[in-house]
A and B are shown apart, each in its own frame.
Chain A
Amino acid sequence: MPRAKTRKEEPVEAGSDTVMEEAPTSHQPESRDDMSVDQDENDEAGEAEEDEIEEEEEVQRVRLLPGSTPTAASFEFLNEGHTLGNALRYIIMKNPDVEFCAYAIPHPSEAKMNVRIQTFEGTTAIEALEKGLRDVQDLCDVVSDKFIDAREKFVAGASS
C-alpha cells in the first residue's frame, strides 16, 4: 500500500507545505517576485513568436499558479470547463501516486478552470498531469474502437 508508506514521510513534506500561502489560489495576487510565475511568463513571450512562424498563433493556455511546490501544484487552464475538468480529475485521481486531485471553476464568467494536484514523494504534480492527459487519450481510443465495433455488429444484425 503506497499510501501508508508515504504517510510516514509527511513531516519532511510538511515543512515545504508551510511556504504556500493559505488563501485559495484564485484569491492570491499574481506576485511578480514569485520564481515559477516569472519564469513561465518569460518563456511564454519568447515562444509565442517562435510558434507564430510554425503555426497560427498558439497561445499558452496552461499556467502554473503561484505557491506551487514540485509535489503540490495548481494549474490554470484557459478556455476549459467542466467537460475536460471533471474527466481529467477522475483520471488523475485514478493514479496511485496522487494523494489529492480536484478541479474548480473559480468564477462562472471567467473562462478559467483550475486543477489542484498533490502527489506522494517520487513523482511530481506536472508528471501526474501529463500522465492524466495521456490516459484520457488512451481511454478515447478504446471507447472509439468499441463503439465502432458495436455499431458494425448492430448494423450487421439488423440487415441479416
Chain B
Amino acid sequence: MPHKPPTKEELERRKIVGIRDETITDVSCSDFPGHYPGEDHSWDIDAFRRGFSVEFHQNDRFEASFSLIGCDASIANAFRRIMIADIPTLAIENVFINNNTSVIQDEVLAHRLGLIPFQGGHEGLHKFLKWWRKPTDEAQMNNSYYDFNTVSLKLEVQCEHNDKAAAGETDPTKLYHHAHVYARDIEFCPVGRQDRYFSGADAIAPVNPDILIAKLRPGQEISLSMHMHKGVGSDHAKFSPVATASYRLMPVIDITRPILGDDAEKFARCFPRGVIELEKVTKKEAGQKGSGYEGHAGELKAVVADPMRDTVSRECLRHDEFKDKVKLGRRRDHFIYLVESTGQWESDAIFIEAVAHLKKRALDLEKQVKNMVR
C-alpha cells in the first residue's frame, strides 16, 4: 500500500498539545523514526535548519524574551537548565572579617554579601578571569590566589554621630553618618593586571548600588575584606547569571464555530486583555452558506488576536455557551523563553553562552567516548 505523505493540517495537528476542561492530551512528541509507517523522521540537520526559527519579543539588559520554534522540549530544556546552573559568574566566595560590631552576625553578613550581584568589564570577566581551584595541599592555600582567579574587595564602614543634624531629628540616616551600609560602600581593590580590564566604567561594582547590607548605630563598625571567585549555579545559586530563565509553550486558541454577539463579549472576558478581539461580521461572510454567519451581518464575532498573551486558564471551557465552539491547546515545538539577567551578563548573551556550552559538553564527551574505545 503506497503511503500518502501527511497533509499540512495533519502535521499542524501533531504539534498541538490538547487542553480539555479536565485533561491534557498528546503530551509526548511523536517525530521519531518508525512512529509513522512510511515517514522518515530521522535526524537531518538541513531539515532542522529549515524548520527551526527564532523570534525576538524583547531584548533588554535585564530581561530578554524570545521564541524558539521547531525544536524539541529536551533541547529547549537543556538550554534553560544550562542558563540557570552552568554559566559561570563572579561572586563573593570568602569574607575575612576584621571587625564586625553590628547586630548582624558574621555568618549572616557573609551570606548577604555573597548574594550581591556584581558587574564589570566583559573581556575581563569572561576571558581574563579563570577558575580558582582549591589546592590539594592545604598549606599551599595562600599560594593559590592570583590576579586571574581572585578579585579582592573590601568594606570599611564606621557609624558616627552627625553633629550637623537638626535638633529633634529622628531619622537615623540624618542623625548618624553611615547608619545604613549599602552595596555601593563595597570597594574594589585591583591587583596585578586587573587594572587593565577593570578600570573606569569596567570596574567591578555591584549591579544594584542600593542593596542594603546592614544597619549601624554610633560606635558600631564593619571592617572586612572579600575574595570573589568564578563559580556556577549548580554549586550555589549566587553564581547563577539569571534571576529566572524559563519557557512556556505557545498557547493555541481555535474557535471552531462562530461565537457572536453578547457571547463574543463574554468570551473575550474569559481571556487576558488583548487575546480575543471583537470584529464585525462582514456581508461576504454572512452570505457564505455553511459558515455559521448567515443572517448575522453587522454583529460582533470573537476572533483570536494575540494568543501569546494567553495564560491558558481554561475559563472559557467552564461555560456551556462555548461548548464545542472552542479548542484550547499549546504548540509543543514553540518555546517562549523569558531570561532575566542579574546584570553580569547581557540577557541574550546568556542564551548564546548556553548554546556554546552545550556544544562544548558534547564535544568533550565525544572525545571521551573515542578515548574509551581506544
Contact = CB atoms under 8 A, between A and B. Distances in A.
Interface string B281-323: 0000000000000000000000000000000000000000000
Given A94-B33, A137-B359, A146-B52, A126 B351 contact: no
B361 interface: yes
Interface in B338-364: 348, 351-352, 355-356, 358-359, 361-363
A150 interface: yes
**Most chain A CB within a 10 A radius of its CB, from B42, B55, B351, B368:** B368
Interface residues of A, number: 52
Given A133-B366, A137-B362, A143-B68, A95 B371 contact: no
A151 B59 contact: yes
A36 to B, nearest CB: 10
A88 B364 CA distance: 14
A142 B45 contact: yes
A82 B361 CA distance: 13
B369 interface: yes
**Most chain B CB within a 10 A radius of its CB, from A64, A136, A148:** A136
Nearest to B43: A94
**Most chain B CB within a 10 A radius of its CB, from A63, A83, A84:** A83
Interface stretch (B76-84, B117-125, B156-164, B242-250): B76-84
B191 to A, nearest CB: 24
A3 interface: yes
Interface residues of B, number: 51
A22 interface: no
B139 interface: no
Interface in A6-25: none
Contact of A90 (B33, B74, B361): B74
Interface in A86-144: 86-91, 93-96, 126, 129-130, 133-144
A136 B369 contact: no
A139 B38 CA distance: 25
Given A60-B368, A64-B372, A155-B59, A83 B68 contact: no
A113 to B, nearest CB: 11
Nearest to B364: A61
23 contacts: A3-B34, A60-B368, A63-B372, A77-B365, A83-B82, A83-B358, A87-B74, A87-B75, A87-B358, A90-B75, A91-B43, A96-B33, A96-B42, A133-B369, A137-B366, A140-B362, A141-B359, A142-B49, A143-B75, A143-B355, A150-B66, A151-B348, A158-B59
